[in-house]
Chains A and B, each alone.
Chain A
Amino acid sequence: MNFQLNVWRQANAKSKGKFATYEARNIAPDTSFLEMLDIVNDELTERSEAPIAFDSDCREGICGACALTINGQAHGPKHPAAACQLYMRSFDDGKTITVEPFRAKPFPLVRDLVIDRSALDRIVQAGGFIAARAGSAPEANSIPVPKHNADLAIEAAACIGCGACAAACPNASAMLFTAAKVSHLAFLPQGAPERTLRVTKMVRQMDAEGFGNCTNTYECEAVCPAEISASFIAKLNREYARAVLQRSVGE
């Protein structure tokens, strides 16, 4: 198969970026999208041009490193899947493919298609944890968790932290990411003591990072490789309202 690539190139955060066009020739349909970029990069290297920088690591859809907007969709046209799980057989031969980074103000560009997503780490640092000192945990089966809650918790916990939700959101909102972590811990009894503080701090950090606001378009859940449901955002809203009430009304 042959493709024409329209790729965003930008040397660093300060320089001005632009699109560049490359040919990808003789690509086997079983080649993954990232492997296709590898091939193009090897050709660029041979021609003494700078290879296209893009992030990837596990290449099996779980680490969340890959972050490409392909033909106007975060992670490309096949959902649910991360960009690394996208194969060239999903594209029509001879077509032009536009590749852009995930775009949001809190994701500053590092180079070409690589962005800095440390904003997401800072949201977790603000409260996305349960304080449990190693050595002080009670026996694991001493607190039963209803299966229904445990199942909901893992559905939310499946988030791979790729940031596609914010990239796809018309408002660049990271609400789905934050909602997933808040919900995961709110569904478990172990998360109860810090429940109020957690949601308050995480939402405050999310806002401070400069993400946009949720307008319930649900574009996030459509592109989420971990199939996190936007109903967790409703859960986040509920948790937040509850926290505000508790903190303003008191006991």
Chain B
Amino acid sequence: MTNFPGFYRSSIGKKMIVALTGVILMLFVIGHLLGNLQIFLGPRWVNDYAQHLRDLGPLLWAVRITLLIAVFLHIYFTVSLALDNRRARPQGYEKRNYIKASYASRHMVVSGLVVLAFVVFHLLHFTGRKFNARFPMLKNDPLNHYDVYSMMVYGFQNVYVSAFYIIGLFLLTLHLTHGTSSFFQSLGLNDKKLTPQLAFGARVFAWLLFIGYTAIPVAVLLGLIHPAQQL
């Protein structure tokens, strides 16, 4: 009766896919942060790390494709759920007074789409090395690795870019304050006792990520980190 097609067409199946892909993306966000934080350890660490990733070759592409599929499914099913939800209440309320539903939980689609826009920009910015006249001028570091370190510092020295990063990260955080505890619920991995603890944990986790990520542009803007090569 219910086979796999039935599953991904059902309300619960769809949200489980959203949750599972969310977990993948969240793991990436954690890993990505750990990699980036190496900037505080000096150019050597970050540049080595970046080279290391590039050396993975096909494996890197496997990860990238997985992430791409995850992003696609995450968005596709969320939008499909959101459209269902819109249809489920054609006549809205005159007055609405939420008790428990948080701002974050009610605006996942919006926060998610802004994050998507941010990610696109971010990929073009640092992976595609766009929007900055200095990026093409960067020379390799002494070990002949691409100087990611300096690229990041030059990138964030632009106040507008950094501000956009911080806004994007803020929305990602908002998204994750709800999303992180939500996937436990969607996958049925919690109970009455665990739910409030998970909700608290999720908020702590999301804000730690925020602090970790924003530390980099903030540090650059405050002049605590300098480029490894002057241009």
Q: Do chains A and B touch in the complex (CB under 8 A)?
A: yes
Q: Once bound together, how far apart are the Cα atoms of A241 and B12, in whole Å? A: 9
Segment at the interface with B among A50-58, A137-145, A167-175: A167-175
Segment at the interface with A among B85-93, B114-122, B166-174: B85-93
A105-B87, A244-B2, A247-B1 known; A213 and B186 CB under 8 Å? no
In-complex Cβ contact of B10 among A105, A173, A203, A217 (8 A): A203
A172-B89, A203-B10 known; A237 and B16 CB under 8 Å? yes
**Which chain A positions have C-beta within 8 A of B16?**
237, 241
Query: Does B12 contact A240, Cβ atoms closer than 8 Å?
Result: yes
Query: Does B93 contact A100, Cβ atoms closer than 8 Å?
Result: yes
A104-B88, A172-B89 known; A247 and B97 CB under 8 Å? no
Query: Does B88 contact A212, Cβ atoms closer than 8 Å?
Result: yes
**Which chain A positions have C-beta within 8 A of B93?**
69, 72, 100, 103
Query: Does B94 contact A19, Cβ atoms closer than 8 Å?
Result: yes
In-complex Cβ contact of B11 among A79, A207, A216 (8 A): A207
Q: Once bound together, how far apart are the Cα atoms of A206 and B12, in whole Å? A: 11
Residue of A nearest to B109 (CB): A215
A213-B11, A217-B106 known; A230 and B195 CB under 8 Å? yes
Q: Quick one: which of A178-224 are within 8 Å of B by CB?
A: 197, 200, 203-204, 206-207, 210-219, 221-223
A26 adjacent to chain B (CB < 8 Å): no
A200-B1, A212-B84, A216-B182 known; A241 and B188 CB under 8 Å? yes
In-complex Cβ contact of A217 among B84, B87, B92, B100 (8 A): B100
**Nearest chain B CB to A3's CB is how many angstroms away?**
15
Query: Does B195 contact A219, Cβ atoms closer than 8 Å?
Result: no
Query: Does A222 contact B81, Cβ atoms closer than 8 Å?
Result: no
B99 adjacent to chain A (CB < 8 Å): yes
B162 adjacent to chain A (CB < 8 Å): no
A231 adjacent to chain B (CB < 8 Å): yes
Q: Quick one: which of B171-187 are within 8 Å of A by CB?
A: 178, 181-182, 184-187
- Contact residue range for chain B? 35 or more
B108 adjacent to chain A (CB < 8 Å): yes
Number of interface residues of A (CB under 8 A): 56
Residue of A nearest to B95 (CB): A72
**Nearest chain B CB to A165's CB is how many angstroms away?**
12
Query: Does A216 contact B105, Cβ atoms closer than 8 Å?
Result: yes
Query: Does A73 contact B97, Cβ atoms closer than 8 Å?
Result: yes
Query: Does B91 contact A219, Cβ atoms closer than 8 Å?
Result: no
Query: Does A203 contact B182, Cβ atoms closer than 8 Å?
Result: no
A243 adjacent to chain B (CB < 8 Å): yes
Q: Once bound together, how far apart are the Cα atoms of A240 and B11, in whole Å? A: 11
B13 adjacent to chain A (CB < 8 Å): yes
**Nearest chain B CB to A146's CB is how many angstroms away?**
16
Query: Does B100 contact A219, Cβ atoms closer than 8 Å?
Result: yes
Query: Does B188 contact A238, Cβ atoms closer than 8 Å?
Result: yes
Question: Could you write out 15 A-B pairs with CB less than 8 Å apart?
Answer: A6-B94, A103-B91, A170-B106, A171-B84, A204-B2, A204-B6, A206-B11, A211-B11, A213-B11, A213-B14, A214-B11, A215-B105, A216-B182, A219-B100, A230-B185
Chain A: residues with CB nearer than 8 A to chain B? 6, 8, 19, 69, 71-73, 77, 79, 98, 100, 103-106, 168, 170-173, 175, 197, 200, 203-204, 206-207, 210-219, 221-223, 229-231, 233-241, 243-244, 247-248
- Beyond the given A8-B94, A171-B88, A247-B2, could you list 19 further A-B residue pairs with CB under 8 A, ordered by the A residue number? A71-B97, A77-B97, A98-B94, A100-B95, A103-B89, A104-B88, A170-B85, A172-B88, A214-B186, A219-B101, A222-B99, A222-B101, A230-B185, A234-B185, A236-B188, A237-B15, A237-B186, A240-B10, A248-B2
